[in-house]
Amino acid sequence: MLRHFHAITIRDQLFSMITPGSTIGILGGGQLGRMLILAGRSLGYRFHIFEPSGPCTAGMVADHEVNAPYSDEAALRAFAEGVDIITLEFENIPAEVLDMLSAIKPVLPGREALHICQHRQREKDFLKENGLPCVPFEYADSADSLKTAIAAIGFPCVIKTAAFGYDGKGQIKLNNAEEAADTDYLWNFLECPPRVVVEKWIHHIGEFSVVCARKADGSKSTFPMSENVHVHHILHASIVPARITPATRDAGEALAREIADKLDVVGLIAVELFLHEDGHLIINEMAPRPHNSGHYTIDGCITSQFEQHIRAVTDLPFGSTELHSATVMINLLGDVWKGSEPDWSGLLRDPHVKLHLYDKGEARPGRKMGHFCVVGDDIEQTLASAEAHFKQLSGK
């Protein structure tokens, strides 16, 4: 199912290493792009950012920033011509843009991987076709077919728009038939999307993720599995090492490696997992880029996910992903600001805390403004310390 010609194109162009001093183009200008640049800079690379929405957090640390819509072919062409390779920090790039750019410079992790991961239907079909464990699902493309899909899945379930969802946006959880009775209302509430997926709600005993880096020659490197805590569908904390059995850890890593190969990824793939109470892992979704649950690697691992991504797309050898400290990452959403800059003094006085702020300006509720990591020797103590800091910051 992978387009063979595309894989060959990437390999042919990439087997010559992109050496430090070269310029890497990044599509998307959010915090993931910012942290990619900060990591790649220390290896001596230069960075150009393409971000349609305007001046951005990644652009602040880039050598050059382009703000133009994806419909501006001249701007895209000039961007591609000014860099040696193109990667991304945001997967919702229109297919025709990827086609245009990849005719000029290699685009990594590759068009097919992006095409699959940017759409929940294609993602679910990929998992099913490859016999990978996923959540029971049905599709719908109208209020009527939504009714049929919900009836087939049963309760509780969750409706998700097939495209452009993130941080729980475009999702409705339904607990019973009463909540699902008026599908016209639900359909309008979701703004009449072209397509939705209806998924069974999984009564899991934990959420986990694995970030895997893969190079054009097929070699791979996985990061320690992260145990993730979500609040209102948004990641709140990552706990590493995850408190799981070695068998679960190995199974999660094996799934991530298999997916990286089957998608022919060059760069990173992050795989989100649910652990079912009977002990087996179910794949929730995949992201072909650095992932929020991998931020802990900056402070907890010898090589971060961001540096490993740069190494993968430039064909440098991988760095070690060894975890050198128990690490807990806590997201700082705009909610913590409450109209003014939080008082960071308590956090900064703790010498085991590393604070990362993205300088994004307006702190809207739910907006990812920064994160902090606490590093230590014992995961339970580290977690208690991280939660105490968060409580103090958020005034709870």
Ligand X SMILES: Nc1ncnc2c1ncn2[C@@H]1O[C@H](COP(=O)(O)OP(=O)(O)O)[C@@H](O)[C@H]1O
Q: How far apart are CA 174 and CA 172, in angstroms?
A: 6
> Does the protein bind ligand X through residue 158 (CB under 6 A)?
yes
Query: Which of 153, 193, 202, 204 minimizes the C-alpha distance to 176?
Result: 153
Residue of the chain from 11, 77, 105, 233 that contacts ligand X (CB under 6 A): 233
The H or E element spanning position 6 is: helix 4-14
Q: CB of 108: closest distance to Mg ion in angstroms? A: 22
Q: CB of 105: closest distance to Mg ion in angstroms? A: 29
Residue of the chain from 165, 294, 300, 342 that contacts ligand X (CB under 6 A): 165
Residue of the chain from 52, 82, 133, 168 that contacts ligand X (CB under 6 A): 168
The H or E element spanning position 37 is: helix 31-41
Specify the residue, 70 or 166, whose C-beta has the smaller distance to ligand X: 166
Q: CB of 135: closest distance to ligand X in angstroms? A: 5
Specify the residue, 62 or 162, whose C-beta has the smaller distance to ligand X: 162
Per the CB < 8 A criterion, the answer to whether 50 and 26 are in contact is yes
Query: Which of 184, 172, 174 minimizes the C-alpha distance to 143?
Result: 184
Residues 120-149 that bind ligand X (CB under 6 A): 135
Partner interacting with residue 321 (select from ligand X, Mg ion, none; CB below 5-8 Å by kind): none
End-to-end CA distance of the chain: 50
> Does the protein bind ligand X through residue 90 (CB under 6 A)?
no
The H or E element spanning position 113 is: helix 111-117
Specify the residue, 101 or 117, whose C-beta has the smaller distance to Mg ion: 117
> Does the protein bind ligand X through residue 285 (CB under 6 A)?
yes
> Which distant-in-sequence residues (6+ apart) come within 8 Å of 371 by Cβ?
292, 295, 329, 330, 331, 332, 356
Half-sphere exposure (CA, 13 Å, Cβ side) for 310?
29
Judged by CB under 6 A, the stretch of 158-166, 177-185, 218-226, 354-362 that binds ligand X is 158-166
Give the largest CA-CA distance in the chain.
60
Q: How far apart are CA 336 and CA 364, in angstroms?
A: 9
Q: CB of 368: closest distance to ligand X in angstroms? A: 12
Residues 240-299 that bind Mg ion (CB under 5 A): 272
Specify the residue, 158 or 330, whose C-beta has the smaller distance to Mg ion: 158
**Contacting residues toward ligand X, per CB under 6 A:** 135, 158, 165-168, 199, 201-202, 207, 230, 233, 272, 284-285
**Contacting residues toward Mg ion, per CB under 5 A:** 272
